[in-house]
Amino acid sequence: MAVAVQPTAEASKSAQPMGLIAASCVGAVFVLGAAALVLRILPGLWEQSIGRGITQAVNSLFSTALLVVIQVAAAIFLAITGGKLLSNQKIHGVRGGVFFVISTIFTVFFCGRAMFLLSTTRGGFSFGVILALLINAAILFLLVQFYRTGRFDEWSKLLDDGGLFSINSYKSAQGQKVRRLTIIGLLLILGSGVWTLMTHNWLPANTMIKAANGDGEISSRMGDWVVGATEVTGPLHREGGFTILPDLAFTVPMVLIAASIWFAWRVVNFPGFADFLIATEAEINKVSWTPRKALIRDTLVVLSSLILITVFLFLIDIFWGWLLSRELVGVLPTAAEKPAVKQTEASLDW
């Protein structure tokens, strides 16, 4: 005789996946660790070991190019690994939760840092300082309310439902031509902005300066995103601190290009916009396009007509100008009277 056994409370509790906030925090740690590995740890190790030997043996350009290839390969590997880990966690909204947790970490860091710097100002608490402290405190309070009132769960699920952080395509077999053209257009617009940043030198770059101890040249680190650095040998060189992004003149364009590619891909796969593009291509396919021979013939007819009308109006204008400037008609000034008229007009004080 079979007997149904109820699972114990502990067994059912242990079988449940972790909550959305906990899974989002784990994912945020993984993403930030992967970013630190690709953008900071790998370049540091490369500069101290392999890259130095390649620079001395070949040149610095080859070393930099090889480092970029390694960084891109590491980023792709970590992205695939992170995607598999997220797919194993059957939690609705975890991708959006990771985004909000990372945004919260950066917001808390910069707001806390701003409040600390403002509270330690030597000039005292002026109205501007107090206002800035209140604004930062209000931002931190809103963040607490965002997690406490359940908005975190709601908005994280909305982001996941919108597919902003998903690699899956939406109706990939439909509207391919219009989607590709839309991706190209978005990349041209976003790429022109990145190109403008690079060509106008709006991003700070590191320069080589002489070391204080006379041991060759060292980087100024003025183009690094550093927190807590101390200035050495004046304002032209910084040492110490924690580097968030090295060589902003190179890493910022790389990050912006990667973000632009991802944004262009996700926009054309957003359900609402993708349906619009699919409908657009369907309407374009319904258009009866003119054959090439007929198009060339009609174009020649239009251009010939335009030239004939232009010549006709030009001749009519010359004829009426000649006729109305005759002494018998007297409507327009004659050729002898035109110099006097021009001199009169030039002498008028408007």
Amino acid (one-letter) located at 114: A
- pLDDT for residue 16: 42
Place of tokens 């219009």: 178
* Domain hosting residue 327, numbered range: 295-335
CA distance 341 to 213: 82
Question: Which tens digit of pLDDT belongs to each residue from 267-299?
Answer: 898 888 889 999 999 998 888 888 899 999 999
Q: Does residue 316 belong to any structural domain of this protein?
A: yes
What is the DSSP track for 292-337?
HHHHHHHHHHHHHHHHHHHHHHHHHHHHHHHHHTSTTT-SS--TTT
170 touches 265 (CB < 8 A): no
Q: Does residue 120 belong to any structural domain of this protein?
A: no
Q: Tell me 212's DSSP state.
A: T
- pLDDT for residue 81: 84
Give pLDDT tens digits along the chain (350 positions): 445 555 554 444 444 456 888 888 888 898 888 888 887 788 778 777 776 666 655 666 777 778 888 888 888 888 888 877 776 667 788 888 888 999 999 898 888 888 887 777 656 677 778 888 899 889 989 999 998 888 888 888 888 877 777 777 888 888 889 999 999 999 999 999 999 988 888 888 888 777 766 667 777 778 787 777 777 766 677 777 777 777 788 888 888 998 999 899 988 988 888 899 999 999 988 888 888 999 999 999 999 999 999 999 999 999 988 888 877 767 777 777 777 767 766 665 55
Phi, psi of 240 (to 5 degrees): 75, -170
CA atoms within 13 A of residue 121's CA, in its CB half-sphere: 16
User: Between 94-119 and 127-148, two packed helices, what is the crossing angle to 10 degrees?
Assistant: 160
Q: Does residue 319 belong to any structural domain of this protein?
A: yes
Q: In total, how many domains does the chain have?
A: 1
Q: Does residue 111 belong to any structural domain of this protein?
A: no
Q: Does residue 328 belong to any structural domain of this protein?
A: yes
User: Bridge partners of 218?
Assistant: 209
Q: Does residue 230 belong to any structural domain of this protein?
A: no
Question: Which tens digit of pLDDT belongs to each residue from 174-228?
Answer: 888 999 999 999 999 999 999 998 888 888 888 877 776 666 777 777 878 777 7
Q: Does residue 310 belong to any structural domain of this protein?
A: yes
Give helix then strand counts, H and E, for the chain.
13, 6
* Size of the chain in residues: 350
Q: Does residue 320 belong to any structural domain of this protein?
A: yes
Q: Which residues of 239-276 are buried (b: 16+ CB within 10 A; e: fewer)?
A: eeeebbbbbbebbbbbebeeebeeebebbbbeeeebee
Residue 25 tokens read as: 């925090």
Phi, psi of 336 (to 5 degrees): -75, -30
CA atoms within 13 A of residue 91's CA, in its CB half-sphere: 24
User: Bridge partners of 209?
Assistant: 218
